[in-house]
Amino acid sequence: MARYAMVTDLTKCVGCQACTAACNSEWDVPPGHARTHVRPTGAVGKFPDLRSAFYVAQCNHCDDPPCVKPCPSGATFQADNGIVKVDRNLCIGCGFCVQACPYEARYLNPATQKVDKCDFCASRLERGRQPACVTTCTAHAKYFGDLEDSSGDIYRMVYTRGARRIESGEVKVGPNVYYLGRRGEPQLVAAMFPPRLPKLPAAGEWWSKVVKPLALALVGATFAGQAVAFFTQLRKGEGQFDE
């Protein structure tokens, strides 16, 4: 079984956001949200000794994904190939996984009320295509493939060219998006955008975001069932609903 990973070469990346636009278009991401972000570090240092880089951020499909456990409905899961997915049919939009992600890679889609995030364009992979961000990258800075294929680009970049993970002292969850950079760009990005500790839901949130909505949904379903029965009876001309 494959272990999918991505490498972004930050020396090549020019921060043009073609990846973000391609992704937003591929996945109908609403304006103001993204499955892959480009975050500039801004100029760091003292004029004229400056450095800057772009953090091309997305779901890291971590070895130990902190988003899976907090999901109350089981919508978030990790496939055998390492891709962390959200089953939209199961997602209840509680947002626990959004809080839990150390990389801020998830968002709650306001249109669907479901959580959305990068899945390495799994449906494109099934058709033998590369992720949309990779094929469009103007700087040819993004690479995608199987980390277990020792003859592949990804393997070489990670194991011989020293592509790095963005981790912090506190957060080491085995991200599978790696970064190359000849000028210390990955280190600069890690310093400027350290992953934050996963935030687990408080007890109160369980009540307000899971139990209550679920209960309401159950009540609603019951009520809806009764209503259907009521109107069915009306149409049949059987008079009022029998209490």
Partner 1 sequence: MPHGLSPGGVSRRDWFRATAATAAATSAATAATPGQRAGKPALQVATNCEMCFWRCGALAKIQDGRVARIEGNPQHPLTLGRLCARGNAGHQTLYDPDRLKRPQLRTGARGEGRFQEVSWDQALDWFAARLTELKNKYGPESVAYLPHGASSGFFGTVMKAFGTPNSAEPAFAQCRGPREVGYALTFGRGVASPEPLDLANARAVVLIGSHIGENVFTSQVTQFSEGLARGAKLIVVDPRFSTAAAKADHWLPIRPGTDIALLLAWINVILSEELEDKEYLAKYAQGLDDLRAHVKPFTPEWASAETELPAGLIRDSARMMAAAKPAVVVHPGRHVTWYGDDTQRSRAMAILTALLGAWGRQGGILLPTTIKRGSFKTPPFPESKRGRADGAGTTYPLASEELGVSNGLIEATLTAKPYPIKGWVVYGQNVLESIPQRERTLSAIRLLDLLVVVDILPVEQTLYADLILPEATYLERYDAPHIVETAARPFISVRQPAVPPMYDSRPGWWIAKAMAARLGLEAWLPWKNPDEHLAKLIEPMGISLGELKARGAVAFEGRPTIEQRIEADGPLFPTESGKIELSSKLLKEIGHDAIPVYRPPADPPPGWFRLLYGRAPVHSFARTENNALLNGLMSENTVWMNDHSARDLGLAAGQRIVLQNADGNESLPISVQPTAAIRKDCVYMVHGFGQQAPGLHKANARGASDNALISRVAIDPIMGSTGMRVNFVRVKPEVQS
Q: How far is the CB of 90 from partner 1 (least distance, A)?
A: 18
Q: Rule CB under 8 A: is residue 16 a binding residue for partner 1?
A: yes
Q: Rule CB under 8 A: is residue 138 a binding residue for partner 1?
A: yes
Q: How far is the CB of 146 from partner 1 (least distance, A)?
A: 21
Residues 165-182 as b or e (16 or more Cβ within 10 Å = b): bbbeeebebebbbbbbbe
Three-class secondary structure of residue 213 per DSSP: helix
Q: Rule CB under 8 A: is residue 127 a binding residue for partner 1?
A: yes
Q: Rule CB under 8 A: is residue 20 a binding residue for partner 1?
A: yes
Q: What is the DSSP string of 148-186?
A: T-TTSHHHHHHHTS--EE---SS-----SEEEE-TTSHH
Q: Rule CB under 8 A: is residue 55 a binding residue for partner 1?
A: no
Report yes or no: 7 and 163 within 8 Å, Cβ to Cβ. yes
d(CA 35, CA 27): 9
Among 105, 132, 154, 158, binds partner 1 (CB under 8 A): 132
The footprint of partner 1 (CB under 8 A) covers 9, 11-12, 14-18, 20-22, 24-27, 30-32, 42-43, 45-48, 50-53, 121, 123-124, 127, 129, 132, 135-141, 183
